[in-house]
Amino acid sequence: MVLTERQLLILQIIIDDFIRSAQPVGSRTLAKKSEITFSSATIRNEMADLEDLGYIEKTHSSSGRVPSEKGYRYYVDHLLAPSTQILTEVDILAMRSVFAERMYGLEKLVKRSAKILSELTNYTSIVLGPLVNETKLRSIQMLPLDDDTVLSLIVTDKGHVEKSVVKIPTPLDKTELERFVATLNARLIGVPLVELKTRMYEEVNDVIHSKIENYASILETIVSNMNKNEKSSLIVSGKTNMLSQPEFNDIDKVRAFMRAIDKEADFYNVLRKNQQGVHVTIGHENELHGIKDCSLITATYTNNGEPLGTIAILGPTRMEYSRVISMLNLLANEFSQWHEKQ
Amino acid sequence: MVLTERQLLILQIIIDDFIRSAQPVGSRTLAKKSEITFSSATIRNEMADLEDLGYIEKTHSSSGRVPSEKGYRYYVDHLLAPSTQILTEVDILAMRSVFAERMYGLEKLVKRSAKILSELTNYTSIVLGPLVNETKLRSIQMLPLDDDTVLSLIVTDKGHVEKSVVKIPTPLDKTELERFVATLNARLIGVPLVELKTRMYEEVNDVIHSKIENYASILETIVSNMNKNEKSSLIVSGKTNMLSQPEFNDIDKVRAFMRAIDKEADFYNVLRKNQQGVHVTIGHENELHGIKDCSLITATYTNNGEPLGTIAILGPTRMEYSRVISMLNLLANEFSQWHEKQ
DNA sequence: ATTTAGCACTCGACACACAAGAGTGCTAAC
DNA sequence: GTTAGCACTCTTGTGTGTCGAGTGCTAAAT
């Protein structure tokens, strides 16, 4: 059964109102709205139908109605004012400012966007920087710190630096190290980071065998470090913002949420698998347990159509979907453009 | 007026018991303890005196007693079982394991100790890595990324790397850049990082003047970046642990605490000025507003007597002072030893 | 055939009263 | 100086009553 015009109108107003007020909305409140030309009794009848269909719920038998997750889903899919200009000038300027300023380095850009986003929305923002498989090796450097310690740096073409401090078993021959590094660089520059681990062994295997065990040990450490740091480009900003949302007046919800958001690795996995475009995941649609009361909106940004990274906002299910989606769209665009200029 | 033996005993038991149970302790509960040989009526009299003196408080007129901040202060200063072996084998092994393992790099060590500490105590731990003024320049590297972008790396003798991506106004001459870097390295290696900013200008001023403006711009960025990153060696672990402490059942306290702990810069300032040794700051003794319900225990670790960094635990005023102090002492010692071995 | 007015009913929120229990302070006896 | 005893205080939990917002249903109005 499909919804009538009037039911859609009522559903829309209920959700809009609830998003604003966080209070269950009753038939009298609705009847006062200027869009509504019929009486509260009619509204009650329609609301009863909407409830039977699962779009709205009561918090108790004589309360006003609250959107269900199904209701939000319908709202997001069909009712969202399509491409209406929701953002204020202030919002737009704030976001553009991140890119307008002469910025140095992608990592800062990611951090700053996350911050702006969480400040503007008062939700929690999560930004995933470019995935490692997009970047290529720019240079490998090794600097001896002591007799038995080497600092190795892996620099990518995007200006990212992975460092690892390696302890080596036998004392170091400096010129030999230099030759080793030169070999590595000669053979590996330009290799995508994601292939680096395997290529490293392939390309330099013969060289290593002819040398002492030091180099095997160094490579071992570098490779194992790369695994760990893959996830480092995840920035979470505004973790405490959710505390000011009324749905988090319950201490147990706060606990669950904070615990969930502390496990950044989980979010990494969720965000990484995101397809292109904007996606909204509402309440129990989320895989992660701690955020079943929340909605997650994600947007990917691209470089020439290739997905590079993800921007996301985590808020209560009662989220300002329309505004947040517009913001993410804008920001993802700016990101993509920024990348193409690089 | 000085406290009698018996009052001390009572104060001690009250505090010990309250630290365990988080419940106000009454005269009957006390009388049941095996250490106590006198009746609950006597205890009531003594408790009235202790209250007049400000060491304990009532939560309401007919409640049991709770330690006041003055009480905790006295407890920490005079009553703490001096160097009794509080730590369990498990605690000790867990902490040693951080150092026992073949660890790479100070930064990881700092992170791992913070983690262990917060896990063992179930409080929040804060570890401040070696202050920048201890470390010296090991090497400066500059790698051109594009025509107008240079990645500059500052490597310290402790293996720490500061990177900054610099956009430069005029296209780059690669050999000239190499000469510039060589000059920088020749003149600046071994300079303490804290002096680097000024020395950088002094030493290379003449060189810069004879070259194009690129180099001034590069130095500018590096220097301004160093300022920001000075604070990066602060690791906070277990932020959400406090949520399981009963004193944080109040949502407003949670909010205040989370907000406070999110401002890492504040903690940096507090920890940086710490004198050598272990320090306990109780409740309102803390300068920071959000943690007036908390106690902060800090310990510095040293290298040949020179203070290097700080380890701290932030918990409720009802903290296991004795255990935490022992743990910090142990860990600070391990840290100092580790440094000396380097 | 819809829409609406009217009304009985439900439930949460709040205030109040009451009892039980833990703990105190004080007094008088030991 | 110590203790037993007792009246008193305050919290906590439970039950009761009232108020108001909101619903569902019925019957009348359009």
Residue-wise pLDDT for A294-315, tens only, equals 999 999 988 877 888 899 999 9
**Most confidently modeled range among A251-255, A274-278, B16-20:** B16-20
Estimate in Å the CA A14 to C1' C10 gap, whole number. 22
Among A104, A136, A249, which would you mutate to test the B interface (most chain B Cβ atoms within 10 Å of its Cβ)?
A104
Beta strands in chain A (DSSP E): 56-58, 65-67, 124-128, 137-144, 149-156, 161-167, 234-237, 278-282, 294-303, 306-316
Judged by CB atoms closer than 8 Å, whether chains meet at A151 and B161 is answered as yes
The model's confidence at residue A172, banded by pLDDT at 50, 70 and 90, is confident
Judged by CB atoms closer than 8 Å, whether chains meet at B255 and A244 is answered as yes
- Cα(A234)–Cα(A189) distance, integer angstroms: 26
CB neighbour class for A103 (10 Å; exposed up to 12, middle 13-18, buried from 19): middle
SS3 B64: coil
User: Å from A145 to nearest chain B CA?
Assistant: 6
Judged by CB atoms closer than 8 Å, whether chains meet at A165 and B105 is answered as yes
For range A214-241, the mean pLDDT? 77
Written as six digits, the tokens of B87 are 């730590």
pLDDT of residue A104: 64
A139 chain-B contacts, CB cut-off 8 A: 143
CB nearest B164 (choices: A104, A138, A153): A104
Whether pLDDT at B18 is above 90: yes
Whether pLDDT at A31 is above 90: yes
B67 touches strand C (CB under 7 A): no
Which one has a higher pLDDT value, A195 or A281? A281
Judged by CB atoms closer than 8 Å, whether chains meet at B143 and A146 is answered as no
For range A199-221, the mean pLDDT? 71
**Most confidently modeled range among A109-113, A336-340, B59-63, B280-284:** B280-284
B251 chain-A contacts, CB cut-off 8 A: 243, 248-251, 254
What are the b/e assignments for A273-306, b being 16+ CB within 10 Å? ebeeebbbbbbeebebebbbbbbbbbbbbbbeee
B138 chain-A contacts, CB cut-off 8 A: 143, 145, 151
Phi–psi pair at B320, nearest 5 degrees: -80, 75
Judged by CB atoms closer than 8 Å, whether chains meet at B239 and A251 is answered as no
Please write the tens of the pLDDT for every residue from B63-119: 999 999 999 999 999 998 665 668 899 999 999 999 887 666 677 888 899 999 999
Please write the tens of the pLDDT for every residue from B150-202: 888 888 877 778 878 887 777 778 888 888 888 888 988 988 887 887 888 78
Nearest to A167 by CA among B103, B136, B65: B103
For range A237-253, the mean pLDDT? 91
The model's confidence at residue A204, banded by pLDDT at 50, 70 and 90, is confident
Which one has a higher pLDDT value, B333 or B83? B333
User: Å from A62 to nearest chain B CA?
Assistant: 29
Residue of A nearest to B152 (CA): A159
Written as six digits, the tokens of A213 are 């065990």
Q: Are A6 and A46 in contact (CB under 8 A)?
A: yes
Q: Are B266 and B288 in contact (CB under 8 A)?
A: yes
pLDDT of residue A147: 78
What is the CA B288 to chain-centroid distance, rounded? 14
Report helix angle A193-210 to A174-188, nearest 10: 140
Whether pLDDT at A51 is above 90: yes
B165 chain-A contacts, CB cut-off 8 A: 104-105, 159
Q: What is the mean pLDDT of chain A?
A: 87
Q: Cα torsion for A296, A301, A307, A309, to the nearest 10°?
A: -60
SS3 A326: helix
Judged by CB atoms closer than 8 Å, whether chains meet at A262 and B249 is answered as no
pLDDT of residue B120: 97
CB nearest A243 (choices: B108, B143, B255): B255
pLDDT of residue A251: 86
What are the b/e assignments for B32-44, b being 16+ CB within 10 Å? eeeebeeebebbe
pLDDT of residue B308: 81
Judged by CB atoms closer than 8 Å, whether chains meet at A163 and B164 is answered as no
A262 chain-B contacts, CB cut-off 8 A: 239-240
Written as six digits, the tokens of B303 are 């290298």
pLDDT of residue A288: 93
Judged by CB atoms closer than 8 Å, whether chains meet at A145 and B138 is answered as yes
Residue of A nearest to B222 (CA): A104
pLDDT of residue A118: 97
A58 touches strand D (CB under 7 A): yes
For chain A, the straight-line distance linking the first and the last C-alpha, in angstroms and rounded, comes to: 51
- Cα(B185)–Cα(A292) distance, integer angstroms: 55
The model's confidence at residue B227, banded by pLDDT at 50, 70 and 90, is low
CB nearest B167 (choices: A104, A239, A243): A104
**β-sheet bridge partners, residue B67:** B56
- Cα(B215)–Cα(B99) distance, integer angstroms: 42
SS3 B318: coil
The nucleotides of chain D lying under 7 Å from a protein CB are 2-5, 8-11, 20-26
CB nearest A251 (choices: B239, B240, B249): B249
Whether pLDDT at B246 is above 80: yes
Per DSSP, helices labelled H in chain B are 5-21, 27-32, 40-52, 69-74, 89-100, 106-121, 174-188, 193-210, 214-229, 251-262, 264-272, 321-341
CB nearest A161 (choices: B105, B153, B342): B153
SS3 A308: strand
